[in-house]
Chains A and B, each alone.
Chain A
Amino acid sequence: MKGIVKFVQGNEACVEGALYAGLDFFAGYPITPSTEIAEHLAFRLPKAGGKFIQMEDEIASMCAIVGASLTGRKVMTATSGPGFSLMQEALGYAIMTEIPCVIVNVQRGGPSTGIPTHVSQGDVNQTRWGTHGDHSIIALTASNNQDVFAMTVEAFNISETYRTPVVLLFDEVVGHMRERLVLPQKGEIPIVERLRTSVKAGVDYHPYLPREDGRLPMSDFGGVHRYNVTGLYHDMWGFPSDDPGVVHGLIRHLVDKIENRTSQLARFKDFYTEDAEFLLISYGSAARSARHIVERRHRRGEKFGLLELMTLWPFPYDLVKQKAAGARYIVVVEMNTGQICQSVRLAVDRPERVFLANRIDGVLINPTDIQRMLHVIGGKGV
């Protein structure tokens, strides 16, 4: 990969990725540790002719990007836990109305205001089930700047492809850590543009009638097709309906369009997993420490492997099951009380093999922490 090399924070890498993907509308509200994303975009977006607005709160930020997306913009907002809680209402609206948007959550410790300047991965399950009602969601994560960039581009591409919100679940360490970022050249990573309807003016357009491949071509607000958008269950024209057939069809569509593509949506990296006796599963900044351990033990000839998850939702059950098939110990390394560990246990055969190695004190889990826990798990004492 060649291109401009930068030395930036993860939050800036996210900004670079968003602009590379074609972001042209951002609405947000200041919150640590995500604020740099808003600051950089306030500077960068107008230079590119895009729009930046600081709204009165995170509720309004999320609503504004959904409105903007409906006029044809590529949109994003960025926040952290407390703001993400406020966004849940409009996140559900975006899911229901199938409006593409990207939401960045640079996680800090919770619940409530928690520990604003310290790291956590406590919002994993909130991302899955934070908004009310049955639904499905896509959440991506990354552990280093290059991947933050790549996953941000992916988030836009997936959001446009499936007409659904995509959550980028970063964490404070990833967001604030400075490291090298190589900016890919234009065209190096493919960009998905919005699929717009080819239906001509005056011909009946069905905004909510999926094509055979499940995709819904959109028509921008202000264009030739006037239709309705509502958070109520709706028919193929977008008008409210309580017909049981319509309701069932829509909820199945919303869930299936994501859950049926779990394997296609699974982004991950694996290191020496083929014959690993100790399989570590991690993500985000915790995966950096996990990788350190795995590399060291692997060099010593020990059978250590790492599966770094970059798609957290929909959870790649089949992938985890397959990678974990031959492992004697499966150790999930994360900074919460076991939110992904729970899913791993559901995924694998003989879940008694699954152990949690975690920190929940606002401090990055480091290789020594993991090392100690591995000793205990392996029956070797502290």
Chain B
Amino acid sequence: MALKNYIRERFFPHFWCAGCGHGIVMNGLIRAIEKLGLSKNDVVMVSGIGCSSRITGYLDFHTMHTLHGRALAFATGIKLSRQELKVIVPMGDGDALAIGGNHFIHAARRNIDITAIVMNNRIYGMTGGQYSPLSGYGTMASTAPYSNIDQSFDVVELAAAAGATFVARSTTYNVIEMAEMIQNAILHKGFSVVEIMSQCPTYFGRRNKLGDAVDMLKYMNRTTTTIGSQWIDEDQELIEIDSEAKEEQLKIERGIFIRKERPEYCAAYDEVIRRAKEGK
């Protein structure tokens, strides 16, 4: 099967837990790249540290497994050096937005043609379930045994405010939508961000009594909706499950939020070279 053309089969079965959403993201990512018909030699994948970042080892591209939070900085060097390469950066939520938050907003601000995929499972899985900047107020984590008081980022709003020119969100439940968004993000000329809500049944699910992978996928299905859909006031079942979150009874929206044109960084630098050579 074609999917196997894109993986390093000798490392399978992969090291993620049973039901881990990151495997579903990898599944969708491969299908997106396959659909685009990209040559494997033209794809560079750069990751940081964490469960999510192990994805690079499993995929048969030019792969770089870097430092916690720094993947976008390495990727910026690669892209600016060889702009003909497709540079994809899969990151975890802590990786992208805690330790890597500064690199994230600055890569967005430059609008450099890199695709950032935030695999958001709302927890630090590799280290055993500590709260991340996307865990959210009221969640439980090994470092929030009395319930988390940290507010979370909204990745979509953050990326948009920072200047990303393509911003989308999907979930591991909505697999076809997710693969299509990744395709669109890769095709987009500029900094593209796809947040993929993903499940960690081992830590986030267990500590927050969200059940197993199947339950968590169902939960994501219930609590998200396409852009512009209804409030969920009437969804009694959800209100019971997530009574802490009653204050914010909006379903989380999925879809493409931002898609616009702005000068891309590498193309702009080509202009700098032209001006420098003309002595202007």
Contacts and interface: CB of A to CB of B under 8 A. Distances in A.
Interface of A: 25, 27, 43, 46-47, 49, 51, 53, 55-57, 59-61, 63-73, 75, 89-90, 93, 221-224, 226-232, 239-240
B41 A71 contact: no
Contacts of A240: 57, 65
A64 B11 CA distance: 29
Counting contact residues on chain B (CB < 8 A from A), the size range is 35 or more
Nearest to A57: B102
25 contacts: A27-B76, A27-B77, A46-B276, A49-B273, A55-B73, A56-B73, A56-B102, A56-B106, A60-B76, A60-B103, A63-B67, A63-B76, A64-B73, A64-B77, A65-B77, A67-B46, A70-B77, A71-B82, A72-B81, A224-B41, A226-B60, A226-B63, A230-B57, A230-B65, A231-B65
B63 A59 contact: no
A90 B67 contact: yes
Secondary structure at the B interface, as helix, strand, loop or mixed, is helix
A183 B252 CA distance: 62
A44 to B, nearest CB: 8
B78 A71 contact: yes
A66 B77 contact: yes
A231 B66 contact: yes
B57 A67 contact: no
A68 B67 CA distance: 16
Interface string B50-65: 0000001100111111
Contacts of A227: 62-63
A60 B70 contact: yes
A51 B81 contact: yes
A67 B272 CA distance: 21
Contacts of A71: 77-78, 81-82, 85
Contacts of A224: 41
B67 A93 contact: yes
Nearest to B62: A221
B41 A63 contact: no
B120 to A, nearest CB: 22
A47 B277 contact: yes
Contacts of B247: none
Closest 4 CB pairs of A and B: A67-B77, A64-B77, A63-B73, A46-B276
Given A47-B276, A63-B67, A221 B78 contact: yes
Nearest to B277: A47
B77 to A, nearest CB: 3
Contact of A46 (B61, B85, B103, B273): B273
